[in-house]
Every structure is written in C-alpha cells, then in structure tokens.
Amino acid sequence: MKQILEKLDFSFSFSDFNVITELLDHYLEDRVYVFDEVFNAKTYSDKDKVDYIHYFIEPCIKDKPHHDYLERIQHFLSREYEIFNHPKISALVDTLQSIFFTRKDDYDSIEDFEDYEVEVIDQIYESWQQLYQLISQYPLLELDTFKYEVIDFVPIYYTDDSDSYVLNEVKKFVKVMKKEYPTSLRRLDSLILCDTEYIEFVAGEGTMAFFVGDNVFMPNKVSDDDKLFFTTTLYHEFGHFIYDLLPEHCQVLWTDYYKEWITKGIKLTREEGNDVEELFADVFSLQHNEKKPDYISEPSTQIVDTYKDVLERGFTK
C-alpha cells in the first residue's frame, strides 16, 4: 500500500491521538477475535491466511474490502509531527510503522504464522501503550497563542516573553540570508521561538535548535552565557539546510575533498566532531555570522575556497 505522507502539522492534538487510540483498540479487538476464530483450530487453509492478511495487514485482493481502520492508523503513523523527533517516540513509531506497513510477501517466508502473529499483536499493544504514556507528557505547543510576523517572506512565531536579543538576532539573520540566499530562505516554512522545555523534550537536553521538515524550532529566551551559542547555532543550522539543497554532484565533490583534507591533515574548524556536513555548516556560519565563537576556528583557505566553489556550482550553474 502506498504510504500517505503529509507536511508537518503544528496542530497535533491529544483529542486526535485519543481518536486514533480508540480506533486502534477496535482494530485490535477485531484482529484478535478473527485470529482466534480462524487459526487456533489449526485447520485453516492458505486462502484463510491470505484473506486475513488482506483484511488486517496489507490489502492484496482486488475489489475486496479490508478493515475500516487500517488506513486511518497508517495515516497517523505517516504524519510528520514534530513530536515524532523525540528519540523514544521516534523508535516506537518506527516499530509500529514496520508492523502496519508490512507486505504480504514478508509473511510468505514465515514458517510459524500463528506464533509470529501472536508476537506481533503483543508488540502492537505494548508499543502503543508506551507511545501513549510518552505523548501524555508532551508539552504541547499552542501556536494560536503565539505572536506572528512575516519578515521577508519568512513567518516567525514567538511568545510575549521572548527575549529581545533572540528576536532581534533572528530578524537580523533573515535579512542577511535574504541578501545571500533569497530563494532558499523562502523555502523555510517558519521559524518558531518557543519554550526550551519543548525543544529539549522533542530533541534532547541541551538542544539549541532543530529542523522538522522546513521548520526551525529555537528557544524564545537564552541566558547571557548562551547568546553567542544561540546566534552561531542559527547560522550553523541554516548551513545544514543549504547543504541539503545542494545538487548531488556538489555534495559528492565536497565529500571527496573532505576525505582528501582528512588524509592530508588540513586544518578544519574543530578538533573533534568535524564530519563532512558539520564542516560545511561550520564554514557557512563563519562566512555569514559576524559573531565568531571560540569553539570554531577558521579553517584552511583551501577549505574556504572549495566551499565557495561548491556553492557557486550548486546555486549559479
């Protein structure tokens, strides 16, 4: 079955999740009941097995109905909610996706269908229960309560208590990027300045920014000690965004040079953690951010020249 993908929806609601949970309960009740009726007797035919797979797992028989709630559950699991970036939630969603998007062909190689199906049903119950517990702790963002500005085509959401420093740095960043990368900047759906608790819940403790799709989440306030880190992260993360927009041949070129620099011991931007894309994002930040942090150093001129060449090839040729 073709997986349904949607763009990020900020309006994740507990009521929607509760509806899906209720549908899942009905779906599992039906799946368990039919399984017990058909397979416990050990006298089922190959047709019984195919009918069961078609109805509950993957529709594979033309013009024959399947369970009403199967696609609703698949649809929910295919959404790109920002909460799905939380490591534990992401792992559970991955597990549930692997179950609910199983193909009929995958079942053909299973020797003991009955035992396998019992394990799968148990896994669904257990995974969804864990998912429910985690989501019940979710610090929901209510964007309807946020202030909203559009700066050079980029929507910026922020709260009443947002730091003036944070807001000013974001606006300054947008103006710099509008001059350098106007088309790429417009591909951002929004910049969202929100509570640090939300960001750390979704992306991990100490996270200063993260992307979901083409949306950027950053804290709405920072301490004096973190101001430089905030600004640097803003440019650094957009450097990752620009890297993702580069044509394949430009990414390959940058990667090939990176391997050569590592082999020759060319000076990079950090002593540790300088993988191929992190190096690009660091150089991007150093080129455009007037505030220079002490944990990133200017790399070899050879790297800077290559960076400029890759950008020219990617955006002007």
Q: What is the pLDDT of residues 152-203, one digit of tens each?
A: 888 999 999 999 999 999 999 999 999 888 888 888 888 999 888 888 877 7
Note the pLDDT of residue 277.
92
- 248: pLDDT strictly greater than 80: yes
- Buried b / exposed e along 231-259 (16+ C-beta atoms within 10 A): bbbbbbbbbbbbbeebeeebbebbeebbe
**Per-residue confidence (pLDDT) for residue 115, from 0 to 100:** 87
293 or 67, higher pLDDT: 67
Mean pLDDT across the stretch 10-30? 84
Residue 60 has pLDDT above 60, yes or no: yes
Amino acid (one-letter) located at 86: H
Closest by Cα among 115, 38, 41, 29 to 67: 29
Better pLDDT: 143 or 78: 78
Q: What is the pLDDT of residues 255-290, one digit of tens each?
A: 999 999 999 999 999 887 788 999 999 999 999 998
